[in-house]
Amino acid sequence: MPVISVPQDFNSEELYVDLRSIFGHSLFLKCEGFNFAGSIKLKAAAEMVAAAERDGVLMPKSILVESSSGNLGVALSMIAASKGYRFLCVTDSRCNLSTRRLMEAFGSQVHIIAEPDANGGFLGARIAHVRGLCASDDRYVWLNQYANPGNWKAHYNRTAPAIAAAFPGLDVLFVGAGTTGTLMGCARYFWERHRRVRVVAVDSVGSVTFGGAPGRRMIPGLGTSVRPPLLDESYVDEVVLVDEADTIRACHRLARSGFLFGGSTGTVVSGAMGWLARHDAHELTAVAIAPDLGERYLDTIYQTNWLQGVYGEDVLSSGELTAGSRSA
């Protein structure tokens, strides 16, 4: 059975699962989905909102607006509701329906971009829409998670120190690359404040973040169609690219062992296990960050009709499908 480790103070942010019994290599998965927003994005959202308030950017009449594939939108919806701000999330058609409904339940507005930009893809189209809103009405305040230093500082100050404290002998850390806020915060911390740790970025095939060719990506979370301004590759030791079909397989393999995780986690786990296998890394202490859980993906990566419609009949064998995703 996988080993689950929770510290004595039962801090939900510090739950780790050792995946050795599932994949054959020891990999401690830091589970970030056990907070009120359901993902690691709550840290970045809280940091960016707090900084905007300190700087006097956010006023009672302000309307928060942000481009998000889902999780940051949920986090900002929750924070906006608790602080009395209005919030508009600009997302696109790949955003999970349950995620959109969750944002609306918090009282937020959700605008869905239906067509990608010719050069910048869906992200470029989302950002263009946000810029247009801000130009049309000065009440709109764009935190801009793609360039806001609060994004990476949240993980420099919280996520990375927590990992360092839990694993003082850490050898390699696997971090998914979306806005690269988590990646940059953790990588900077281990470069500047801790003993040397190898940092491996995990990205999706079809993402342009690290200079790859743009391609179709259907799973929200990791990967971008516009290079993130936060990214500084000098802090990253290696980059691993994962095909979305392998993301799906990793998610279903985890689910068959009792762990329902989101698509970003499937990508990170698939990339990490491939890296560990190539490096004969049985003696290394390795940690990967799981950004969220899988409930918001039940209608997509855990649903047979969606899988077959997007990836074809052979994306999963009958033995790989979880029971709930099999066709009736």
Domains and CATH numbers, the chain: 7-35+149-311 (3.40.50.1100), 40-142 (3.40.50.1100)
**Nearest 5°: phi and psi at 224?**
-145, 160
Q: What is the predicted pLDDT for the residue at 207?
A: 95
CA-based nearest residue to 185, from 232, 237, 239, 241: 232
Least confident span in 10-24, 41-55, 195-209, 314-328: 314-328
Q: What is the mean pLDDT of residues 165-172?
A: 94
Instruction: Please give the mean pLDDT across all residues of the chain.
Output: 89
Residue 286, both tokens = 């390795």
Cross-strand pairs, 87: 64
- Give 290-319 pLDDT, tens digit per residue: 999 999 999 999 999 999 999 988 787 645
pTM: 0.90
Torsions phi, psi of 173, nearest 5?
A: -120, 130
pLDDT (average), residues 53-78 = 94
What is the torsion angle, in degrees rounded to the nearest 10, for the CA atoms of residue 70, residue 76, residue 82 and residue 86? Answer: -100
